């Protein structure tokens, strides 16, 4: 049974969506590849209010695991927003969320949406959603072209909560293995809002808070998480091929940590096949899972800290895309992610 941290949910759904697939690194295709240099990022400092930084509060991050509620909790949160809904989304075609955005706009809320425009290999489109929102008067814009892809999946509500997710808002998305992190920490929300405002305006920004932001700091902070593990590392991801991440996972085994990896059962890219072979040679236990489809991007270190976010563990995702993630030490949330990965690992096929 999957745990849900911080929220009571009901309902279930099954099946698997069509995977994004793709290969990694220069010349990549798929949902996080590409070769475009994102350029430099500089600008305002996020997380600032009334002339001063927002003080970090207690770790209040809660986690929802899909498939459980067909994204019902997120939909209810969007529908219940009182002042604003700000969304950055790689893929949006779920009519429930499109209707909710329009309804909130009609109710006078501040509704703004950033959608990814370019999809490698012709996979995916947001044109219908863009047109529907635009025709309804919603403020919607295409993501900045400074990133190869805007692969982020974030929903910001009322300036008080940030849903930082692995999940797109496609009809099929809640059938996948997904993690939805609900972050109500004021500093994190302020940082996420500052990033959203910059990307909506197409202006540069250098984030300086605790969030994992690609292409700025995500790879560095993931490496710090992996390298800091003493006893165990569990990773679950749709794609894994970034050489720095792979090297760090192998090195962790050498320092005495037990390392387990869960991957989707997509046909692997050449880079991922090489990565898996390297990991196995280093003593990492690697499995693939077919159902539910593994669209998650998560790491648990020592059962004490967990990463959840849109970043895949590939060079394209970490170096060229706009992505957003977080690391939490909330005990209930970390346990939720850890138990889910353990369950998937137990059901996987060894590679």
What band does 46 get if pLDDT is binned at 50, 70 and 90?
very low
Residue 58 is predicted with a pLDDT of 81
8 A C-beta contact, residue 210 and residue 191: yes
CA atoms within 13 A on the CB side of 90: 29
Percent of the chain beyond pLDDT 90? 82
Per-residue burial over 100-114, b = 16 or more CB atoms within 10 Å of its CB, e = otherwise: bbbebbeeebebbbb
At a CB cut-off of 8 Å and minimum separation 6, what does 173 contact?
A: 17, 66, 71, 91, 94, 167, 295
What band does 122 get if pLDDT is binned at 50, 70 and 90?
confident
| Model confidence at 11: pLDDT above 70 | no
* 1 exposure class (CB count in 10 Å sphere: 0-12, 13-18, 19+): exposed
| Model confidence at 280: pLDDT above 80 | yes
Q: How does DSSP classify residue 268?
A: P
| Model confidence at 326: pLDDT above 80 | yes
Residue 40 is predicted with a pLDDT of 32
Indicate the pTM of the whole model. 0.86
Instruction: Report the distance separating Cα 266 and Cα 239, nearest Å.
Output: 9
Instruction: Report the distance separating Cα 300 and Cα 308, nearest Å.
Output: 9
Residue 121 is predicted with a pLDDT of 86
| Model confidence at 51: pLDDT above 80 | no
Residue 55 is predicted with a pLDDT of 56
The closest alpha carbon to 58, from 222, 210, 190, 186, belongs to 186
Tokens standing for residue 321: 């895309």
**Mean of all residue pLDDT scores within the chain:** 88
Instruction: Report the distance separating Cα 119 and Cα 123, nearest Å.
Output: 6
Q: Which residues pair with 181 in a beta bridge?
A: 63, 164
Residue 272 is predicted with a pLDDT of 98
Report pLDDT digits (tens) over 241-261: 999 999 999 999 999 999 999
Q: How does DSSP classify residue 9?
A: -
Mean pLDDT for 72-81 is: 98
What band does 20 get if pLDDT is binned at 50, 70 and 90?
very low
Domains and CATH numbers, the chain: 48-209 (3.30.870.10), 218-350 (3.30.870.10)
The closest alpha carbon to 32, from 338, 311, 351, belongs to 311
Instruction: Report the distance separating Cα 184 and Cα 22, nearest Å.
Output: 33
| Model confidence at 24: pLDDT above 70 | no
């Amino acid at each position: 049974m999957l745990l849900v941290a911080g929220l009571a949910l009901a309902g279930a759904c099954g099946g698997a969506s069509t995977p994004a697939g793709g290969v990694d690194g220069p010349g990549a295709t798929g949902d996080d590849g590409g070769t475009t240099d994102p350029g430099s990022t500089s600008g305002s400092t996020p997380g600032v209010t009334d002339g001063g930084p927002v003080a970090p509060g207690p770790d209040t991050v809660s986690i929802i695991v899909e498939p459980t509620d067909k994204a019902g909790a997120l939909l209810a949160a969007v529908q219940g927003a009182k002042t604003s809904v700000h969304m950055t989304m790689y893929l949006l075609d779920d009519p429930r969320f499109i209707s909710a955005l329009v309804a909130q706009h009609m109710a006078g809320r501040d509704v703004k949406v950033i959608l990814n425009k370019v999809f490698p290999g012709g996979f995916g489109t947001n044109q219908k959603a863009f047109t529907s929102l635009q025709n309804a008067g919603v403020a919607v814009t295409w993501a900045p072209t400074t990133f190869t892809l805007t692969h982020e999946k974030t929903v910001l509500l009322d300036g008080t909560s940030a849903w930082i997710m692995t999940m797109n808002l496609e009809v099929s998305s809640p059938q996948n293995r997904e993690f939805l992190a609900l972050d109500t920490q004021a500093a994190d929300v302020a940082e996420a809002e500052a990033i959203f405002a910059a990307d909506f305006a197409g202006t540069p920004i250098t984030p300086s808070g605790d969030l994992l932001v690609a292409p700025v700091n995500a790879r560095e902070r993931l490496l710090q998480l992996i390298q800091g593990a003493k006893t165990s590392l569990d990773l679950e991801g749709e794609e894994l091929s970034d050489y720095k991440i792979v090297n760090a996972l192998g090195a962790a085994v050498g320092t005495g940590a037990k390392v387990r990896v869960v991957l989707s059962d997509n046909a692997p890219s050449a880079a991922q096949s090489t990565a898996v072979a390297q990991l196995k040679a280093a003593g990492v236990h690697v499995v693939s899972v077919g159902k539910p489809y593994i669209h998650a991007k998560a790491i648990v270190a020592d059962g004490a800290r967990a990463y959840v976010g849109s970043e895949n563990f590939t060079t394209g995702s970490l170096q060229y895309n706009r992505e957003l993630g977080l690391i939490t030490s909330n005990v209930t949330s970390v346990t939720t992610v850890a138990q889910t990965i353990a369950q998937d690992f137990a059901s996987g096929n060894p590679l």
